[in-house]
A = this chain, B = another copy of it.
Amino acid sequence: MVNSELAYPAGVECAHRVPVPPSKPFLETFQANLKEAFFPDDPLRQFKNQPPLKKLLNGLQYFIPILSWAPKYTLDLFKSDLIAGITIASLAIPQGISYAKLANLPPVLGLYSSFVPPLVYAMMGSSKDLAVGTVAVASLLIASMLGKEVSAVQNPGLYLHLAFTATFFAGVFQATLGFLRLGFIVDFLSHATIVGFMGGAATVVCLQQLKGILGLEHFTTSTDLVSVMESVFTQTQKWRWESVVLGCCFLFFLLSTRYFSKLRPRFFWASAAAPLLSVILGSLLVYLTHAENHGVQVIGYLKKGLNPPSVTDLVFSPPHMALALKVGIITGIIALAEGIAVGRSFAMFKNYHIDGNKEMIAFGMMNMAGSLTSCYLTTGPFSRTAVNYNAGCKTAMSNVIMAIAVMITLLFLTPLFHYTPLVVLSSIIISAMLGLIDYEAAIHLWQVDKIDFCVCIGAYLGVVFGSVEIGLVLAVAISLLRVLIFVARPRTTVLGNIPNSMIYRRMDQYPAAQSVPGVFIIQIDAPIYFTNSSYLRERISRWIDEEEDKIKEKGENSLQYVILDMGAVGSIDTSGISMLGEVRKVLERRGLQLVLANPGSEVMKKLDKAKVLEAIGQSWVFLTVGEAVGACSFLLHTCKTRTANGVDADTLANDNNV
């Protein structure tokens, strides 16, 4: 033990003063706070002390990371990326078509969306593992939010254009958040919210697939459980057994390959290739048996050729622009939350760092570019990224390989999908969605934190029984309410002395901790703000009332000192400062002395400026609870023996401290 010999020599402790920090110019503090709030990761660090040319290069590399890794790219890396790229392409093609159907958009849009956005991301993204593509939840949201005002069946042109416009706004919103360094907004969607929300959305998406599996032609446009069940069970006569049998077979096949791959991670390609295999098998089956004439719906004609431009399709005129803006912002932030979370988790596996704000700019650019080339909202889906990671991708080059594979498909292979039955797409979606219902995470939440569990279940039930938006709003509201309740009702605890030490700790946590006669120590466990200052004032009074009752019962000596341990008070506002002033006055009237232990510099500065420090007396502020108790006990002891001589306790405290 190195430091342990440095014990407290008796009587010296009070030499530790808590200084009032020198006041800094307002602008300087403001700038520092601003930097801490918006540039906590100090992104400009690498630009310091560099020549101008180097700065320019660094700046370019900062925004276009491919410039920094492409020069070092090797054949070995390429081999790994090639395998990963082909693997994710085989997943991307059927998934893309399925999700586009889910969004009520032409299926070929799913392929378009796997061509341009991955190329943009490969240049601008900083994740090495993220595989870009459309996602089920955002697709469903687009369908339900746009569908409320514009019918995809009656007015497909406008619907399509609004989808592009929403994508454009989502991109602008994402890039703006990144540029303004407001990435922390995404953090307000907690893990618990996302688990519940994703689970709910996956459930809802699966329910929607009953349409495809049962071969129904008419289906409710609502997404809630009640409407869907009603829609399903009022049409029992229209269920098509051919479709059901085909769907169940493929679902069984897909789920068993997933299970197999999970059991043996080496065979990751089995689950990755299964969807494409299903599509090929299903198409062959329909082609050979002409099942399309017997109630099995197929995709039909897919246009050959690359993405047509869609700049002129964007809608910037009144009646529908507001809708597109709203859809864009909501889907944009959800896509962002998923993409950033996925990127960060995989970056952590490989121990590299991802700058959330930079990623947002990349996502925004990719969606803006996408919206101009007939793509709809893309992000970094978890399932595809996991396959990419398992397939051994090394850089964002795997996205480029995927894009090339999709390009070849678009140029030459689209006719092959003519006979692909919709029921196979439904099976693919269901098997992907089941993986998103993360019941294990929900159990974990229940074990660790009941409130987080409530947030999660709230989001889940909101999505399943209400709508995707209701679930999201509900979950965010519960999460924020929790934070606000914590801020409004901080914990205060009584400290006691750990025997044979100068350490003071919470008496409810450490049963060995003992109270000190004549002294009462309260720890405040949170910043003091207007939201909690009147609560704290009342709670402190109640603590003292209760303590005095206890003392009376036991017939011990009465209280003389109340020590507030301010170590955990990270911040304070004027309401908090006046609360401390009031507590001092109330204590004074009860004949008690207020003592502060370990206040932070912000607290000291504000106490000083508000003249509350003067009222309390600088000599009643101590560096540690131990020293405060020491001084109080010393005074208690001396006063008992000296009171007759008229020595004032305050004078003693001053003598002792100066």
Interface residues of A (CB under 8 A from B): 1-13, 16, 19, 21, 26, 30, 36-37, 40-42, 184, 187-193, 344, 348, 351, 353, 356, 444-445, 447-452, 479, 482-491, 497-498, 500-503, 505-506, 508-510, 516, 525-527, 529-535, 538-539, 541-542, 567-571, 573-575, 577-578, 582, 585-586, 589, 598, 600-601, 604, 606, 609-610, 623-624, 626, 629-631, 633-634, 637
Contact = CB atoms under 8 A, between A and B. Distances in A.
A3 B533 CA distance: 32
Given A13-B1, A483-B529, A610-B444, A502 B6 contact: yes
Contact of A535 (B187, B479, B498): B187
B571 A568 contact: no
Most chain B CB neighbours (cut-off 10 Å) among A448, A508, A535: A448
A409 to B, nearest CB: 37
B491 A570 contact: yes
A416 to B, nearest CB: 44
A351 B633 contact: no
A630 B4 contact: yes
Contacts of A534: 187, 344, 356
A491 B568 CA distance: 11
Contacts of A482: 573
Nearest to A517: B2
Given A448-B606, A502-B3, A586-B348, A191 B574 contact: yes
Nearest to A530: B190
A388 B582 CA distance: 22
A532 B448 contact: no
A479 B602 CA distance: 18
Contacts of A6: 500-502
A417 to B, nearest CB: 41
Nearest to A351: B589
B489 A40 contact: yes
Copies of this chain in the oligomer: 2
A574 B449 contact: yes
Given A188-B531, A527-B526, A585-B348, A542 B574 contact: no
Contacts of A610: 444, 447-448
A43 to B, nearest CB: 11
A46 to B, nearest CB: 12
B634 A2 contact: yes
A233 B488 CA distance: 47
Contact of A573 (B449, B526, B532): B449
B629 A3 contact: yes
A542 B586 contact: no
Contacts of A538: 40-41, 353
Contacts of A531: 184, 187-188, 190, 483
A2 B637 contact: yes
A488 B449 contact: no
B634 A574 contact: no
Nearest to A2: B633
Contacts of A40: 489, 535, 538-539, 542
Contacts of A348: 582, 585-586
Contact of A575 (B190, B489, B567): B190
B3 A626 contact: yes
A526 B483 CA distance: 12
A525 B488 CA distance: 17
A488 B187 contact: yes
Contact of A570 (B184, B190, B490, B510): B490
Contacts of A510: 19
A483 B489 contact: no
Nearest to A7: B7
13 contacts: A2-B634, A3-B633, A6-B501, A16-B498, A36-B489, A184-B535, A187-B534, A190-B529, A353-B538, A444-B574, A447-B609, A491-B570, A525-B527
